[in-house]
Amino acid sequence: MHDSLVDAARGVRARAHAPYSGFQVGAALESEDGEVYLGCNVENASYGLTVCAERSAISAAVAAGKKRFRRIVIATEAEQPTPPCGACRQVLAEFGPDLVVDSVTPTMVAHWTLRELLPSAFAHRPFA
């Protein structure tokens, strides 16, 4: 089935700034109202300042006024589909545990919920 969120994640992956790792990542985040927000990893010569694709997409969405999300698609060209790193899981969890997290390579797809990827996430208050 054609999946435009997958196309969007693959498209933005090409814009990643990853000269140090060579590992380009694209993320496409769908808000509850059906809009799509894009992110890619942005590396830095001071390596620890790198921003992952997932957090970059969250920032774009929040800056556009969105805080409720349905699904994120992560696109890489790794051998296996890669889930978000631990830091990104916590940042995604800020907006609720029901987010669908899909990851694609050119030939494979993986599917999770954020609750599966980060059980017992830290939060100041319980999720509704």
Is residue 13 within 8 A of residue 5, CB to CB? The reply is no
Query: Closest by alpha carbon to 35, among 11, 10, 67?
Result: 67
Residue 113 in contact with ligand THU, rule: CB under 6 A: no
Piece in contact with ligand THU (CB under 6 A), picked from 52-60, 92-100, 106-114, 115-123: 52-60
Q: Tell me which of 53, 57, 73, 104 binds ligand THU, using CB under 6 A.
A: 53
Residues in CB range of 13: below 8 A, 6 or more apart: 24, 25, 26, 40, 53, 75, 76, 77
Q: Is 116 noted as a catalytic residue in this protein?
A: no
Residues interacting with ligand THU, by CB under 6 A? 18, 21, 23, 25, 41, 43, 50, 52-54, 84-85, 88
